[in-house]
Amino acid sequence: MQVINSSKTYDVAIVGSGAGGGMATKILSEAGFDVAVLEAGPFFDPAQDEYRTQLRWPWESPRRGASSDRRSFGDFDAAYGGWNLEGEPYTEAPGTRFAWFRSRMLGGRTNHWGRISLRFGPLDFKRKSIDGLGDNWPIGYDDVKPYYDKVDKLIGVFGSRENIKNEPDGFFLPPPKPRLHEMYYIKGARKAGIPVIPSRLSILTQRINNQRGSCFYCGQCNRGCSAYADFSSGTCLIFPAQKNGGKVELFTNAMVREVTTNAEGKATGVNYINKLDRKEHHLKAKIVVLAASACSTARILLNSKSSIHSDGLGNSSGMVGRYLHDSTGASRAAFVPELMNRKRYNEDGVGGMHVYTPWWLNDKKLDFPRGYHIEVWGGMGMPSYGFGFNPNDLNKITGGSIGGYGDGLRDDVKKYYGAVIGISGRGESVPQKDNYCEIDHDVVDEWGIPVLKFNYKWTEHEVKQAKHMQDTFEEVLEASGGILMGDKPGKDRDYGLTAPGEIIHEVGTTRMGKNKQTSVTNEYNQLHDAENVFVMDAGPFVSQADKNPTWTILALAWRASDYLVEQVKKRNI
Amino acid sequence: MKRRDSLKTLLVGSVAGGLMVSGCAPRTEKDTNVPEVPQLPGYGRNEAEKAHDAKVLAESFLNEHELETIAVLCDIILPSNAEFGSATDAEVPEFIAFIVKDMPRQQLPIRGGIAWLDNHSNKLHNLAFKACSEEQQKAICDSIAWPGKTAPELIPGERFFTRMRNLTLTGYFTSEMGIKDLGYEGNRPGVWDGVPDEVLKEHGLSYEKEWLAKCIDQSKRTEIAQWDEEGNLLT
């Protein structure tokens, strides 16, 4: 089939419309560049009724919101796809495991995430200096701080000024008051001697401009907000960029196969497949920004082979795909008898926790490196598929029979509604060169593109961290008045440690560094091997702190975009 | 509409899991000649999802006997009370008919479970379960409804009954009637300004003063935020 050439040459082709791609779109179009944005999925706008899942009732879905292969987090979650994408498989090396969450749609995975928006702190950029493991970033907190500040003001994040050493404060909107189950958690945390502070989420408790509304407390940020009161890349970056009169051309359902390069090894644009008619196109561009997500970007680079870039574009070091790492995770729940037979009122709140525990043991000698934060969940939420299963299992604790039938089941469900508190740890793993993704030459996706094969194993560091989490969870939950549910996962189950990829914080596949032999991009997200190619997703992360990566992706993409503009002005690109 | 008629409309994809149950008005001749095209009102589906839903709606899996048995079981599991209707009043059988088509993993356990139940009631009473008297039906349920107390040879029945109880309750509490029964008050625009005072009091809790000082003053939520250079909010 013939490749169809774009009639014009764009200043910049941006691959991916998530956090990094959205930020690049906004900054580069406002700098006057002629920008093409290529997104592998369809258009999405939560304000338009045809896309809207917010404020829908469970019975509006015939499967009552159940999850499916088409939407892993249920019918009403905004993120299309998830753990499975039909026609786009990936493989895992024998004996290893990686769960890869992908969302093909405008805004990518910013439509799904929990809006937890934490800055990396000074220690998070220099962990090797502390524990001798992994590598330091080539940049530090002071390099990124001005961009965190700008992201806070542009997008909005609530939180509180706490002056905690490695949890930098920002330009915060005021947080919402804690809910009842969070009051119990606060009580428990105080008793257990661990800190608890208002959470930091990119949700507008107060307006920040006239284009976006303030939160109306439906608790459904994961469904996408019709008032644009939470952050997603489409609603907060790409639509505003389009409205600002910049030259932004959006190509949806455009699956990028490779970056094309010329005889000097410089990028000339991208080849993509239009998913609607399966035709292959070449889009010409002077600069290419890859922001397809850490693993998708690695895949594109590795599939972009030429005589100059024989191992894939940007891969002269052999580091593309290596140092892949995700956050650790573990959870536990408890039944709180004092929360039985609750008085009913609307406690939806914001979509996510109102309080959390930042890592508190930076100064303590432990048997594992690095740390984790604790997230809290619970409350009288809206039922969906699965609600009412095992309706009286908690009778095991309170006394009474399990099972049965009849009107009494109603009372059981109502009695226990909102009486469970759960907590989850999200921690930092130590990046390993031998945890990586590579091209699986045996398998192509339905577009004919060779797929990724994952090789990933946790080390003892992560397992020990999960053990510490479980011990802490028990202490805090019991101090909250909870009776622990289920068995404590032991060594045989790696202490409940989630599989790599499951926390959806995967980073590191195109890590930044000063040494071209051991890194893929420089400290401005620019490929060592091709100066007109940038990576603006989480690929350039040297290490993923216990903080959710989105705020750092945004800050670094802004910083890299400013650098890109400056380099073009200086005629260096 | 009688239950039997209403169950008929569940067959051969003529109805979308409770969302398009036809009213009780008698059908005109024209209606019976034009087959209904199964469809759902929008709920934010993308193209692939619309295609999937259309395909599932057009399929049939459970037969009339199976659906009737499910309806009997649903109402044993969740009968009506003075305030609220039964599981079938909340259209739970319609929900189960859809879910069994939509989740193929449910098909064998549900079909096999109903067959087990009939086989068991045939042995006891020489009648299919649905044809047994209410007393006989409940006696059978008593023998399979209490995990941990089930005779070993009846374990397959217990597994099936547990599955049916789960589907019945989840179907009910995700219906409009069930949500009202539960008392869930959210899923509407509002302003969260903390736990009601009387609830805090009841739980012996109170907000810490320093914590409250950090929280949003809801009268200012529509004011556009501005900060000083240190990040202190000015508005």
Indicate if the pLDDT at residue B18 is higher than 50: no
> What pLDDT shows up at residue B36?
57
> What pLDDT shows up at residue B32?
47
Indicate if the pLDDT at residue A341 is higher than 50: yes
Distance from CA of B142 to the nearest CA of A (A): 7
Q: Comparing A165 with A9, which gets the higher pLDDT?
A: A9
Cβ pair B195, A378 in contact under 8 A? no
Taking residues A31-46, what's their average pLDDT?
A: 98
The one-character DSSP state at A235 is I
A180, B195: Cβ pair inside 8 Å? yes
Strands A254-261 and A34-38 come out as: unpaired
Taking residues A73-86, what's their average pLDDT?
A: 96
Indicate if the pLDDT at residue A415 is higher than 60: yes
For residue A55, the chain B residues in CB contact (below 8 A) are: 187-189
Q: Find the residue in B nearest to A218 (Cα).
A: B187
Indicate if the pLDDT at residue B19 is higher than 60: no
Question: pLDDT tens, A355-400?
Answer: 999 999 999 999 999 999 999 999 999 999 999 999 999 999 999 9
Indicate if the pLDDT at residue A485 is higher than 90: yes
Taking residues B105-109, what's their average pLDDT?
A: 98
Q: Find the residue in A nearest to B212 (Cα).
A: A177
Indicate if the pLDDT at residue A180 is higher than 50: yes
Does B219 contact A at CB distance below 8 Å?
no
Report how far residue A376's alpha carbon sits from residue A155's, in angstroms, rounded to the nearest whole number: 24
Taking residues B147-170, what's their average pLDDT?
A: 98
Q: Comparing B168 with B14, which gets the higher pLDDT?
A: B168
> What pLDDT shows up at residue A301?
98
Taking residues B156-172, what's their average pLDDT?
A: 98
For residue B173, the chain A residues in CB contact (below 8 A) are: 383, 387-388, 413
Position B38 confidence tier, pLDDT thresholds 50, 70, 90: low
Indicate if the pLDDT at residue B11 is higher than 50: no
B203, A42: Cβ pair inside 8 Å? no
Distance from CA of B41 to the nearest CA of A (A): 8
Report how far residue A466's alpha carbon sits from residue B102's, in angstroms, rounded to the nearest whole number: 36
Taking residues A412-418, what's their average pLDDT?
A: 98
B174, A86: Cβ pair inside 8 Å? no
For residue A391, the chain B residues in CB contact (below 8 A) are: 165, 169
For residue B202, the chain A residues in CB contact (below 8 A) are: 343
> What pLDDT shows up at residue A504?
98
User: How many contacts (CB atoms, under 8 Å) link A and B?
Assistant: 266
Residue A102, strand partner residues: A82
Position B40 confidence tier, pLDDT thresholds 50, 70, 90: confident
Q: Find the residue in A nearest to B207 (Cα).
A: A183
Cβ pair A317, A521 in contact under 8 A? no
Report how far residue A186's alpha carbon sits from residue A179's, in angstroms, rounded to the nearest whole number: 10
Q: What is the mean pLDDT of chain A?
A: 97
Considering only CB atoms, A62 lies closest to which of B16, B77, B182, namely B16
Amino acid (one-letter) located at A140: G
**Full set of structural domains in chain A with CATH:** 1-44+103-156+231-327+506-573 (3.50.50.60)
Q: Find the residue in A nearest to B232 (Cα).
A: A171
Q: How far apart are the first and last CA of chain A?
A: 33
Position B30 confidence tier, pLDDT thresholds 50, 70, 90: very low
Report how far residue A269's alpha carbon sits from residue A440's, in angstroms, rounded to the nearest whole number: 24
Indicate if the pLDDT at residue B20 is higher than 50: no
Indicate if the pLDDT at residue B23 is higher than 90: no
The one-character DSSP state at A234 is I
Report how far residue B45's alpha carbon sits from residue B52's, in angstroms, rounded to the nearest whole number: 10
Taking residues A143-165, what's their average pLDDT?
A: 98
Residues 185-214 of B with CB under 8 A from A: 185-196, 198-200, 202-203, 205, 207-208, 211-212, 214
Position A2 confidence tier, pLDDT thresholds 50, 70, 90: confident
Taking residues A175-202, what's their average pLDDT?
A: 98
Taking residues A191-220, what's their average pLDDT?
A: 97
Indicate if the pLDDT at residue A266 is higher than 90: yes
A218, B189: Cβ pair inside 8 Å? yes
Whether complex ipTM tops 0.90: yes
Report how far residue A292's alpha carbon sits from residue A21's, in angstroms, rounded to the nearest whole number: 8
Report how far residue A392's alpha carbon sits from residue A406's, in angstroms, rounded to the nearest whole number: 12
Position B41 confidence tier, pLDDT thresholds 50, 70, 90: confident
Distance from CA of B129 to the nearest CA of A (A): 16
Percent of chain A with pLDDT over 70: 100
Amino acid (one-letter) located at B11: L
Q: Count other C-beta atoms under 10 Å from residue A264's C-beta.
A: 8
For residue A350, the chain B residues in CB contact (below 8 A) are: 192
